[in-house]
Amino acid sequence: MAISKEELFGLLKAGFPDGEIKIDDLAGDNNHYAAFIKSSKFNGKNKVQQHQMVYAALKGKMGNELHALALTTEEIK
Amino acid sequence: MTEIHKKIKEMINKNKVILFMKGTPEMPQCGFSMTVCNILKQLKINFFSVNVLADELVRQGIKEFSNWPTIPQLYVNGTFIGGCDIVKEMFENGDLEKTLKK
């Protein structure tokens, strides 16, 4: 149950093409990441909606292949 | 609505502040659950907690209920507030305290 940093980046980039995306592998185990995503797609959405959009971009991997992802999302103003 | 979603809705409506977590506030079984517990304790908020590890139906049901794939999940006044990242962010900018005191 793990996902490579490249695969994670690819999924996020596909979901947020205009996004500024930064990923840290927190534990070096391909299973605990922190991601920062800044995208205009978040504009006007609340935090819950923003994180739901990220989880949707991960296509069901969150909570399965991917155990932990600390998320920070930001709008592009 | 399925039986388990009804049960979850009832719990959320009955408790002003309710946290679905892994483990208990005394002995959290996951760092993210522990973080949210510590924030609520620090704000001296009484909350009802549900250990999803003790009930597989609730564990799966709560994820579908709010279209949210991870635990912990915090609800206040019947509304889904968020998971660990959002709670932490709201704690740091003061929004959490405002929401909890409504």
Residues B62-98 have pLDDT tens digits of 999 999 999 999 999 999 999 999 999 999 999 999 9
* Superfamily of chain region A5-75: BolA-like (3.30.300.90)
Helices B56-65 & B3-14 angle (0-180, nearest 10): 80
Domain ranges of chain A: 5-75
Phi, psi of B62 (to 5 degrees): -70, -30
Residue B79: which domain range? 3-100
Q: Does B59 touch chain A (CB under 8 A)?
A: no
d(CA B25, CA A27): 25
Q: What is the pTM of this model?
A: 0.92
* pLDDT at position A1: 61
Residue B89: exposure state from Cβ atoms within 10 A (0-12, 13-18, ≥19): middle
In this prediction the ipTM stands at 0.87
Contact B16, B76 (CB under 8 A): yes
CB-CB under 8 Å, B84 with A51: no
CB pairs under 8 A between A and B: 31
Domain count, chain B: 1
d(CA B52, CA B63): 11
